[in-house]
Structure 1
Amino acid sequence: MTWRWWPRGLRARLLVAFALVTVLGAVAAAWSSAGTASNALVTSTQQRLIETVLGQIGPIAPQLTYPPDQEALDRLRAAVGPDTLVTYRDLRSADGAGADLVTDELRTAVRAQHRLVTQRIIADGRPWLLVGTPIMITAPDGARTPSGIEVYSARDLTDVEQQIDGLARYAVITAALALPLAVVVALLAAGSVLRPVRELRDTARRLAAGELDARSSPQGADELAELTATVNEMAESLQTSMATMRQMQADARRFAADVSHELRTPLSTLTAVVEVMATAADGMEPDAQESAQLAITETQRLVRLVDDLMEVSRFDAGTAQLRMEEIDVVGAVRDCLRARGWLDQVDLVAPDEVRLRLDQRRLDVIVANLVGNALRHGARPVRVHLSVSREDVRIEVTDSGPGLPEQVLPHVFDRFYKADAARTRTPGSGLGLAIALENARLHGGDLSAGNAEGGGARFVVRLPRNPEDL
């Protein structure tokens, strides 16, 4: 899960992360120091109070008579100080809050363990240290036995608590003072880290924009410098590969254009000979007539292929030009179908008239390629539907065939691509759809391929309308 409040920029993330780490470190160090100091303060205070109580009991304990009377207990309580409770069986001597603060838990521990026991409590919002100890009788042989006298003293720890609160405030102040310092240090660190990153970003943008000579200067000897050197090596390899590829593409285009141009003259002669052969074919023997017809068909196919190659070479060279004129698109589509004898094979659904500025010859090429492709590879009926909106004019060509397979759709506009290997000898050159797409784009439009809802292939030409066409 991504936290929405977490900054997205690298600089912001570095600043926040560095500041958090610094502040948390300062807080942890301050709290650790405060905790250590607090524990040491409490321990030393507790030890001092215990020594005080024992020091007050020590001088008077040998003077007591056993069993003690009330006067002896009072003298012992007075020697220990205020907030003290001294007990011996049913006798007790109390002063201040000592009698009220001593807990049953402390008394039980003192009587069970026969040694000094301490306990810290909170009473009425104030911290107290309870010290309980038995008075022991030492025999001549050194044996120690409880005398039955128990001394309980309460010592107020408010001063210690205030000192601990002061240490906590000091820890908070230290953490607060560390924040601006952490931000300043983070800004300096982020600047030194992000500067080469920004340079790499700018270099990558220049490379993406086509400046293949863009490079970054490595600085230092850290991982960023190694990354910069790697990016430079990648850019150098890319520049070399692109230069080689462009040269190969230019050579291939020039070769196709040159070959197509050189074929025009012999093809013109061959076409003339074929036309003469066609007029004389009726008087030939059946075998000779079949051969002549095959030669005529293949020659016509070769002529169309050369024409398509010439057209593609003009697109690749960027020399294809539009001859714009205002025409009736519906009439131009109908003329295209009539010229090829397709009016009775195609259902044309269109408004009465659609005026648009475009190149009529290139529109004829687009429609002829799409309808011809539908008639050859789809199934009838073939439908041509023209629709108009404020933004564009759409020409939709659909057939009733099986449609385009999913694996074919990404390649349908590729040059010389044929989905079925059995179609390699069909009259098409394999360039028709590619030429139709280029002509649509030359007008600022587009051509898309897909499948109709009821089945069959569906091609849609979009030709944009200019404000003056509305």
Structure 2
Amino acid sequence: MRGPAAREDRGRGRQPALRPDPAGLRLPLRAAVIKGPRRIRAFGLRTRLLLAFLLVAAVSAGTTAALTYREARNALLETAQDTAVTSFRDHVQQTSFALPLRGGDSLEEVLRDIARKGKPHPWVVFAEYGSLRASSGENPESTVITPELRRTALANPHGSFERVVKDGVPYLTIAMPMVFKTSPDSLLPSGLVLYAVMPMNDEQINVDALLMAARDGALPGLAIALIPGLIASRSVLRPVRELRHAARNMGSGRLDTRIRVRGSDELADLARTFNESAGQLERSVQELREAGERARRFASDVSHELRTPLAGMLAVTEVLDEEADRLDADTARAVRLVSAETGKLAVLVEDLMEISRFDARAAELNTDEVDVAEAIRKTLQSRHWTDDRIRADLPDDIRARLDPRRFDLVIANLVGNALRHGRAPVTVGLRTAARPDGPPVLITEVTDSGPGIRPEALPHIFDRFYKADAARTRSAGSGLGLAITLENVKLHGGTIRAGNLPGGGAVFTVEIPLHAEEAGT
């Protein structure tokens, strides 16, 4: 569309009348499927499902193993310390009846006796009475007795204990004060406190064994969990793969594609929804196909039937045009109006027949080796576009394999459209260009000096009967010129695009392979 009231049209200068083509009125509806390279997804749905399943299994196994380990460890350590505390308390109570010391017994000997009675526990017993210190072992390990335990022992006549790790070795330290029972409910501290230090190496070994067992049990569990994970992912992905395959089939035009419904879960609901949507789409497309078929047949039949009476009308109007100068002014004006409108009707009929051929895929390309610059000059001369309104930049010696008739229509449509809806001068340029990813192309540009194409009209510039100005219901052309131009360019395997120049004015650029037949048209 050109300018405020732009509308596409094509130049005149027709070839001999086109024959109707009833064989090409069927147009199967097929969707274009763009197939690109299939990407390898490192983290596809199957991988994510397996990872999620394994993560859940790992969390479950780890949580279960950690809880089991904690409970077993606590039970093991509590059993060991309860036994040790009870045993040591009993020995201390038995020792309390022997106080004060008899004969030559020394405090060290009493402590050693308590340590011997504590077997099989490898106790080392310490005694503290004020500043007096004594030990049952040759290598005292009193450093594991913390100040907190000493303070607790002096405050609690029933004793206390704690677990301490020293140089990586776990110890159980027990503090038991010596008391005198003055009455059933009264205890009198003697000031003597006995400490038992027991290494817990055996218990630590058992705890480490529990940890190893929990770990060794969790790893096979994860391996076993992989099997139901594979089965689950397969059951989930099967409907997804079927849906993808069905969508691809529908994209290629097989609208009767359906998915088998299994079960009653969400995936089954998805399959049913897809089938219902596919059925509705198939019915809608069938209705559109039939409507389009009827519309194409109607346009073709009407245009064909109108050609015969129009031929007679054109002959009569030509005679009337010749006699118009001899008639009075009003009659002459009416005669010329009838002649002009009859010509427009004839153009519209031939345009409809031409576009019907493209719709029916019946248009053929009859190529020949031509001098492109000379072909464009003939197009301009045959339409009397040789005045100063047209500027031609046509280098010689550019030859291409084209359909001369269709290329003539392309140039005529673009130049005529520029003259009607743009502003003179109109420039026709010609050049060739190499393409790194394809054959060399012939580039033809038609520019004008008008206001250009409005931005909202650019996406619809090649639509049939499109008008940029809805208030303009009539124009000099049929409204099919640029649509026919697009089809002719595509038939050559080329492209056409419209745009605006930076300084104003519209530009149409046509790119056609220099050898149209080699372009796979």
Of 322, 330, 344 in structure 2, the residue corresponding to residue 287 of structure 1 is 330
Q: How does 1:14-25 map to 2 (within 5 A)?
A: 14-25=49-60
2-structure distance, mates of 1:439, 1:248: 25
Which has the larger displacement, 137-146 or 151-160?
Answer: 137-146
Q: 1:186 to 1:27 in 2, by over 3 A?
A: same
Residue in 2 aligned with 1:442?
A: 491
Cα deviation code 1:97-150 (max 9, x no counterpart): 342321222212222344422222221221111111222222125212322111
1:78 paired with 2:113, answer yes
Partner SS state of residue 106, structure 2? helix
Measured after TM superposition, the shift of residue 8 of structure 1 is: 2.9
Change (3 A) 1:95 1:141: closer
Larger CA deviation: 138-147 vs 201-210: 138-147
Q: Distance in 2 between matches of 1:59 and 1:428?
A: 126
1:112 and 1:398 map into 2 onto residues whose CA distance is 106
Deviation at 1:307, TM superposition (A): 0.8
Matches of 2:359 and 2:158, distance apart in 1: 104
Q: CA deviation at 1:465?
A: 2.8
CA distance in 1, matches of 2:386, 2:263: 75
Counterpart for residue 98 of structure 2: 63
2:243 to 193, 200, 213: 200
Q: After superposition, where does 1:291-370 map in structure 2 within 5 Å?
A: 291-344=334-387, 345-370=389-414
Instruction: Look up the match of 1:87.
Output: 128
Alpha-carbon distance, 1:77 to partner: 5.3
User: Residue 409 of structure 1 contacts residue 450 of structure 1 at CA under 8 Å; is this kept in 2?
Assistant: yes
Farther-moved stretch of structure 1 (43-52 vs 251-260): 43-52
SS at match of 2:175: strand
**Per-residue deviation, 1:50:** 1.2
Contact 1:7 1:13 in 2 (8 A): no
Structure of higher RCO (CA pairs closer than 8 Å, 6+ residues apart): 2
Shift of 1:244: 0.7
- 1:11 maps to 2:54: no
Q: 1:370 to 1:87 in 2, by over 3 A?
A: same
1:410 aligned to which of 448, 459, 464: 459
What is residue 173 of structure 2 aligned with on the other side? 130
Q: What amino acid does structure 1 have at the position aligned with 2:279? A: E
Q: Distance in 1 between matches of 2:286 and 2:188?
A: 104
Per-residue deviation, 1:411: 0.9
Query: Which whole-Å CA distance do the structure 2 matches of 1:113 and 1:179 have between them?
Result: 50
Aligned to 2:119: none
CA contact 1:53–1:80 (8 Å) conserved in 2: no
- 1:285, CA displacement in angstroms? 1.9
Q: Map 1:384-395 onto structure 2 (within 5 A).
A: 384-390=428-434, 391-395=440-444
Pick closer, same or farther for the CA change 1:422–1:331 going to 2, 3 Å: farther
1:389 counterpart SS class: strand
CA distance 1:436–1:63, change in 2 (3 Å): same
Identity %: 43
Moved more, 364-373 or 448-457: 448-457
Unaligned runs of 5+ in 2: 1-39, 117-122, 435-439
Question: Under a length normalisation based on structure 1, what TM-score does the superposition of the two structures give?
Answer: 0.93
Retained in 2: the 8 A contact 1:257–1:309? Answer: yes
Q: Which residue of 2 aligns with 1:419?
A: 468
RMSD of equivalent CA atoms: 2.4
| Contact 1:56-1:79 at 8 Å conserved across structures | yes
Matched, 1:250 2:293: yes
Matched letter for residue 132 of structure 2: L
CA deviation digits over 1:186-234, x for unaligned, max 9? Answer: 1112222222221222111111111111112111222211211111111
Where do 5+ consecutive residues of structure 1 fail to align?
none
1:453 is aligned to: 502
Name the counterpart of 2:415: 371
- Deviation of residue 350 (structure 1)? 2.8
Task: Report if aligned partners of 1:64, 1:72 keep a CA contact under 8 Å in 2.
Answer: no
Query: Cα distance 1:398–1:112, how it changes in 2: closer, same or farther (>3 A)?
Result: farther
Relative to total residues, which structure has the larger helix share, 1 or 2?
1
Once the two structures are TM-superposed, the CA of residue 72 in structure 1 deviates from its matched residue by 4.5
Q: Whole-Å Cα distance in 2 between the matches of residues 117 and 381 of structure 1?
A: 110
Counterpart-to-counterpart distance in 2, 1:329 and 1:224:
61
Whole-angstrom CA distance in 2 between matches of 1:30 and 1:466: 75
- Residue 54 of structure 1 corresponds to 89
Amino acid at match of 1:292: V
TM-score for the superposition, normalised by structure 2: 0.84
**Secondary structure, in 3 states, of the residue corresponding to 1:384?**
strand
How far apart in 2 are the matches of 1:6 and 1:149?
A: 76
